Amino acid sequence: MQEHRRIARTELDKTVVGIELTLISIIQGLALAVLAGAAVGPMVRLEWEAWPYVFTGLLVVLIFWSRSLIHTLSFIGWPLEFGHTFGYFGATLIEAAALTQVSDPRAWFALNACYALAVWGLYAWDLRVVRRQAHDFATPEERLLHDDIVRDQRDNIVLLMPLAVAFQGVSWWLVHRFPDAMLRDRGHLLLIGLTIVFSLWYLHGGVRLLRRRRDWILARQAQERAEAGES
């Protein structure tokens, strides 16, 4: 009976990973479509001040997609975690709303502060999921993977996401409080420029994260297949 349960668990893990990857692609495809619709006007009318916001929006979509993919390959499995999945839908709703505001810096920074807050909550929820699954990481390679996952989650929860929320919130306050300096004199371009720098750095960090975990993830998948094959 135990052997059959192990085989079934391996198959269910594959199914859940497939569901997650499909979900990520669909919701971020929708977000990209929203961004494309919002970008048509500024691009056709050569409203160049909106272009940095369009580029940042593209980076936001790429970051969400790549980080979600890394999370899925690293620790998502059976049973399906509905809180984690529902969080994706909620965060994407806010993300899509923000992407419609590429021509309005006030609304852009306000909604992106909310979006960063939602992502912060997602990281906190995922850390709980990872800790509950600690017993599934038994081999040395799996424990290295688990430690790296926990470390990355904590970095985002304690430092990176709070900074993102604070920066977007302060940016909204500056644009709202000093509209002449920020809008008429184009001071908001400095704020979106800093956002682009951070987004590029964060996106590159995700690429490095997957490279670092590549062998550990492969070892974990090989271990699970070996256990299922022995059964």
Residue 3: per-residue pLDDT: 56
Q: In sequence order, what are the residues at sequence separation of 6 or more whose Cβ sits closer than 8 angstroms to the Cβ of residue 169?
A: 109, 113
Residue 56: per-residue pLDDT: 98
Residue 228: per-residue pLDDT: 56
Assessment of whether the complete model's pTM goes beyond 0.85: yes
Alpha-carbon distance of 207 to 211, in angstroms, equals 6
pLDDT by position in tens, the chain (length 231): 555 556 566 677 788 888 899 999 999 999 999 999 999 999 999 999 999 999 999 999 999 999 999 999 888 777 677 888 899 999 999 999 999 999 999 999 999 999 999 999 999 999 998 998 888 888 888 899 999 999 999 999 999 999 999 999 999 999 999 888 887 878 899 999 999 999 999 999 999 999 999 888 887 777 666 665 555
Residue 191: per-residue pLDDT: 96
Angle at Cα 136 formed by Cα 132 and Cα 142, nearest 5°?
115
Tokens of 17: 């990973």
Crossing angle of the two packed helices 188-230 and 161-177, in degrees rounded to 10: 160
**Are the C-beta atoms of residues 161 and 120 closer than 8 Å to each other?**
yes
**ω into residue 79 within 30 of 0, thus cis?**
yes
Domain residue extents for the chain? 2-230
Number of H helices and E strands in the chain, helices first, is 8, 0
Alpha-carbon distance of 25 to 147, in angstroms, equals 27
Tokens of 42: 């500024």
Give residue 182's identity as a one-letter amino acid code: M
Residue 133: per-residue pLDDT: 85
Crossing angle of the two packed helices 105-132 and 82-99, in degrees rounded to 10: 170
Residue 219: per-residue pLDDT: 79
Residue 169: per-residue pLDDT: 97
Residue 181: per-residue pLDDT: 82
Closest CA to 33 of 106, 107, 100, 83: 100
